[in-house]
Amino acid sequence: MDTSHLAEHAGAAGSFFASIFVVATLSMRTMIPLRVFAILTNIVLIATAIPIHNYPTLVLHSVLLPLNVYRLHQMLQLVRDVKKSVSSDLSMEWLKPFMTERKCRADEVLFYKDEKADSMYYIVSGRYRLVESGIELPVGAIVGEFGMLSPSNVRTQTLECIEDGLVLSVSYDQVEQLYVQNPAFGFYLLKLASARLFENIGKLEERLAQQTPPTVAAETA
């Protein structure tokens, strides 16, 4: 069998396996397995295109392969960062690449209690206060995430800027897309939000304890 026939058979076999990977890719519901199968498809099609000198296919999938590898790495890194946050400092810095900047002025209200919630914020600089509870939020804090978890999607407090600064915002739609792409991300996000909720409850209990006057012992006769 000459070289041309070998190339043809290799091309046919490669096309068959590539078709299987394409069908598998289209059937994936989450992003990580989708990227894995996309990478396998790229590799098979590159290997198939070389012996038959199919340069357009070779060039196309040579470009798509590193892109799919990068996207897979990005999603795996996101899940690792969320896991790390759950077990350490409850930081949400891993969301920063998906957020947009917003400059805030003193006395500006970012959102009001009971209004419809559609985004969360990461504090980069400045000073901010939750009006109803009187809690001042530090740089690095995330605020507004509980509106996403609330059945009614409404704000539970008013957020006011008390010193000029910068925040990053991300919409709930973007967070939901990340969840759909990778359910593991959503699971750890839920754990993180729950941990932050209990942390806030603890802070409120400490403040109430500090504000409660000491019990005065009853005078004895």
**pLDDT at residue number 161:** 95
pTM of this prediction exceeds 0.75: no
C-alpha span between 113 and 131 (Å, rounded): 9
C-alpha span between 213 and 170 (Å, rounded): 42
pLDDT at 140 over 60: yes
184-218 per-residue burial string, b: 16 or more CB within 10 A, e: under 16 = bbbebbeebbeebeeeeeeeeeeeeeeeeeeeeee
The 10s digit of each residue's pLDDT in 12-63 is 555 555 566 555 555 555 566 777 878 888 888 888 888 888 888 888 888 9
Mean pLDDT of 117-134: 89
The 10s digit of each residue's pLDDT in 27-37 is 555 566 777 87
DSSP calls for 68-121: HHHHHHHHHHHHHHHHHHHHTT---GGGGGG-EEEEE-TT-EEE-TTSBP-EEE
Q: pLDDT confidence of 201, banded at 50, 70, 90?
A: confident
